Amino acid sequence: MDWLDQIKWDRDGLVPVIAQEQGSNDILMFAWMNREALARTAELGEAVYWSRSRQKLWHKGEESGHVQQVHGIRLDCDNDVVLLSVTQRGHEPGIACHTGRHSCFFQKLENGRWTAVDPVLKDPSTIYKA
């Protein structure tokens, strides 16, 4: 049996993926992969996701240069969530979020409100094409 066949893909042929920074163990982002994206990730050693909004493969960093080097790929006990161990490349410290922050999980619930607690490391308008 192919290793990809052991994954429980959802009805759209996708699996949720968590990118975790090697070393710090920071959770950088959550995304989706289809079979081709996960196969390419394993082959390239760089994260390739499936963009649900654009309906196409998305090589992380293709526009921004903020590539995720993949060190390990794990599958949870139910075979329905993938965990990537990554090093975020392209800017120091690494920027994983399209908002120019290190992590997409920069909002914290404080006193009944979501508060941005992590700084913008680089203005997104200087990262992405209009």
The string of pLDDT tens digits covering residues 67-119 is 999 999 999 999 999 999 999 997 777 899 999 999 999 999 999 999 999 99
3-state secondary structure of 116: strand
Q: How far is CA 104 from the centre of its chain?
A: 9
CATH number of 3-94: 3.10.20.810
Residue-range domain boundaries for the chain? 3-94
* Higher pLDDT among residues 63 and 67, named by residue: 67
**Nearest C-alpha neighbor of 60 from the set 93, 36, 96, 94:** 96
C-alpha 69/C-alpha 47 separation (Å) is: 7
**Among the listed ranges 1-5, 19-23, 93-97, 116-120, which one has the minimum average pLDDT value?**
93-97
Relative to beta strand 48-51, strand 14-21 is unpaired
- Rounded average pLDDT over 9-36: 97
Give the pLDDT confidence score for residue 129 in this predicted structure. 66
